[in-house]
Structure 1
């Protein structure tokens, strides 16, 4: 048996690269479909009308015609030959049954897959794999707060979506561009299903979003239906992953040495997710969060006032500390050691403190800026 010539080896390498490019474009198709399906499920679940997936065999037959009609031949063939095609077909037909126009959606998704295929062919460089937390950050930076972003992060398929994003990124694909395009499709899916369910297309502004408007949220991307009463959902709405939230908590405790109870009061406060969102926003901009938080132990005016409102005052103090540029003199108020703070703190553990957390702070007019931390402890 003769050895392959350089030309033959080159041809084999090109064939392998082309096959990899097509498979990568199929992965992009799956990602967009997973996002669209997550939005469909979320919308129907909220309306209490989540449908079961259609029969796999019937869906595969019907969806194959749609795919062949609107996707490039090589990508369509790869999709139909994939082991997961029956599940993809069910997702497509579920979207159609929910009110999504596939003749409008599929050509746009086809454009996404072609772009991915061409990017892989043109870029053979690999980059290091990034984990789920990194892609949660990418969502926060790329997609606006709203039903699509929340549907992605709350979907059981989110870990697999993140792995797909990492693989696409390794293969030279602009994942953020795909997410931006997929977001537009997700919005369309959300609106189409909302019409069928006779639900509002735009979420009503929640009480939490209204009352938080002002210094707590200025410059942040806050969803209109923010729900601070559900800590897990609020963090998800703000694209704060569990590992990020834990890390931010450690940063707070590091800024309040010897005042563990006070740190727990801040972390259990109803508005903590908003503080975490500001920390995440600052990190994405390369700002020195630790230096800002250190002010909590140098300007301790938050200690003055009723003990029952320490958590509430700490929220405002943390936001003030994070918003003021480094080098800005600390606000007025006596400097008190954290050891003294601990010795005078209420004798309750974090669990009791969480139950007794203060209610949401009153709304602040958009044109008003945050003032210094309260000095007298008096409430309005």
Structure 2
């Protein structure tokens, strides 16, 4: 859950960039923590035959303990964003699960928090540049670095029989990757950098091939770049993907409407 964006009319460009930095840093931390916990669960399943869960008293204490553990590592605004999310108890439980599994959190948490610190160090060092340029490419760099690590759907190359218990966390990981891809693709498309917008959306699709929000980003980027043939092929690709889902599914209404607007003379695509 992201912190709601402030009213643009009520803030200056730097304040708005700072708000986006908070959201970006929090999203990166969520993604890295989710991946770390998934690895922990898979390792326990492989070695012990089952995952080790927190006891109910531990679950109740986890949010307060996690906040104390992160207070000295994260910017106050990033920590506040994390704690305000509906997923905060689950995140705290992930941290508790890692510690209970023997993971040295005094070593791993600073690494997970470094992206957030880097963002704020960049802001402090470049306030004048950010105000003058009206851009926050430093935040986009953090998003790009996170997306560059994506190679496909999490655990897709692993024997599902060995890591069956890790499957419940895969949708969370896929959702986090798609969110980051959408955010970066939107930013670059709005800046008329259609090549980077396409790269970001395609990286997200490596993990979430059927995510139509990312497909819509691809359509808009091709349209912005005046790549009509590529847009038609992208629409056909989504149609093929949907045909292979559970015997065939229709495009989302928003996707179909967008294609009708971008390609008005194109026959409707299922």
TM-score by length of 1: 0.35
Q: Which has the higher helix share?
A: 2
Larger Rg: 1
